[in-house]
Structure 1
Amino acid sequence: MEKMKPTLTVIMPAYNELKNLRGAFISATGALKIAGISDYEIIIITNTKRDGSHDGTPYVAEQIVKEDSRVRHIHNNSYVGLGFKFRQGIGDARKSFITWVPGDNENIEESVAGIFRHIGEADMITSYTSNTQVRKWKRRFVSRCFTEFCNLLFGLRLKYYNGICIYPTKLLQKVPTKSDNFAYMAEIIIYLVKSGVRYKEVPMEIKPTAISSSFKLKSVFEALGTIALLFWNIHFKRTRIKIGSIN
């Protein structure tokens, strides 16, 4: 019997990515084609700056929607973080699996396609950057410290917590994530792994990019607060997710 092909929701958060969003979209659709995934949807999620302005990214998103019926656009008329946008995407997802591809166009489509091909080989597919040398030293330092910190606190040995991941939609909808900062993906992964979810780590190459605004000092402190609360929930409240049937 032929294996049923997966259906995939791609959540694409984009903040101040006027010059990069279309390239990110083209790269994502290219990766889907290479991986042989024809039943998909892309949800582009944008927001304004704290002062209510934006650089035109929402206009690019609206133009893409007009060009491709498989694309939807959610715009927030206020500043919201990555975690908030990801939760919006989860709530609007219509396919059996969910992933995310950032709107900064840092990903190489062949590498993303390589991740997509692993759908179904474990409950959750995670990825890690294999060519970290293309990133600025500050980004590498923060990422390495964050990864080692999470592994130490939760007794894990993951290579990375902020890469492209793929989850069954029904499973992801059970995760009680609340963070809006860049620790939102770590929060999801840790909840799932500590609840017994099987995962597979896949290497991924990226393009050189500038340091993200996510790595401002304030964001780092917010992320640490998220991890501290997660530590309490995992180790003291013993919060776990009832996995059950996820397919």
Structure 2
Amino acid sequence: MEKTLSIVIPAYNEEANIRATVEDILWAIGDRFHDFELIIVDDGSADATGRIIDELAASNRHIRAEHNPHNMGFGASYKRGVSLARMNYVGIIPGDNEIVGHSIAAILDLVGSADIIVPFTMNMEVRPYSRRLFSRLYTLIMNMLFTCELQYYNGPVIHRRDVLMSTPINTSGFAFQSTLLVRLVRSGRSFIEVPMYLRPRLGGRSTALKPKNVVSVCLAIARLVKTIHFDEKRRYAQPVNRILFPGMPASVLVQGVKPQGPDR
């Protein structure tokens, strides 16, 4: 399969971050792919995000600017981007400029090595304590409920496009990526986990822990339990098809031991 890549970039009030995000992604892509596109989705921002992404699209033929008519949610922006994606692999990178450029490059290096590339965060200490606690509890609960044994469920995952299109995205909330991952992993799709590093946000605030988003996540998980363990139990009873990251010590994947990582 020819290596072509679509990256969906949801952006909500990211005027301070979106240009740097795009610059890092373009640097990381380099000459790794036969063709690529960046689909930036402005999710009804109240700041200058929409104007900035229009300027970025006008300056680079690989960039497309899309605008939601109002704030529709992170998952809705991703689904819109996926519906427009034309390349063989589809990824997501938020427009908040959190992911270090070298980590984006390391993730992209693995495209083609598995059906799904699943990044996990090595330096969670750069995030607020409440966000770290929620992430750890969420990962623990997801692994207990669905036995996928992933390090992280809400990172910048890259899917083979035909695999992604085979499974509907049933929620527009923050749980869209994790529920999709569970269904694909439990159906036997191959995946490889790769460590990534984050930088502190330079502007704007995460909306992940807003009460309405937490409620949406809880409802999505409840529906997923019903699907995986009851409604479609046979379909989702396949062995976990994990591919080990080349050269990655087992201690990193099993115990979360942190190696040194570069910055950009």
TM-score normalised by the chain length of structure 2: 0.85
Tell me the alpha carbon deviations over residues 15-44 of structure 1, each in whole angstroms, 9 at most, x when there is no partner: 0001111111101101111x7235100000
Runs (4+) off by over 2 Å: 35-38
Name 2:253's counterpart in structure 1.
Answer: none
Name 1:47's counterpart in structure 2.
Answer: 43
Give distance in 1, aligned partners of 2:22 and 2:138.
28
Contact 2:43 2:70 in 1 (8 A): yes
Name 1:193's counterpart in structure 2.
Answer: 185
Contact 1:32 1:38 in 2 (8 A): no
Name 1:23's counterpart in structure 2.
Answer: 20
Contact 1:83 1:178 in 2 (8 A): no
Matched, 1:103 2:107: no
Contact 1:14 1:57 in 2 (8 A): yes
Name 2:143's counterpart in structure 1.
Answer: 151
Name 2:11's counterpart in structure 1.
Answer: 14
Matched position secondary structure for 1:213: coil
Name 2:224's counterpart in structure 1.
Answer: 230
Give distance in 1, aligned partners of 2:145 and 2:219.
13
Count of residue pairs brought into register by the alignment: 234
Task: Classify 1:211/1:59 alpha carbon distance in 2 versus 1 (closer, same or farther; 3 Å).
Answer: closer
Matched position secondary structure for 1:171: helix
> Where do residues 131-146 of structure 1 align in structure 2 (5 Å cutoff)?
131-146=123-138
Any gaps of 5 or more consecutive residues in structure 2? 237-264
> Where do residues 36-75 of structure 1 align in structure 2 (5 Å cutoff)?
36-48=32-44, 54-75=46-67
Tell me the alpha carbon deviations over residues 56-112 of structure 1, each in whole angstroms, 9 at most, x when there is no partner: 211001000100011111101112111111111111011000001110011111111
Name 1:32's counterpart in structure 2.
Answer: 29
TM-score normalised by the chain length of structure 1: 0.90
The one of 160, 165, 169 equivalent to 1:177 is 169
Any gaps of 5 or more consecutive residues in structure 1? 242-247
Percent of aligned positions that are identical:
34
Aligned AA (1:102): P
- What RMSD in Å do the two structures reach over aligned CA positions? 1.7
Matched, 1:160 2:152: yes
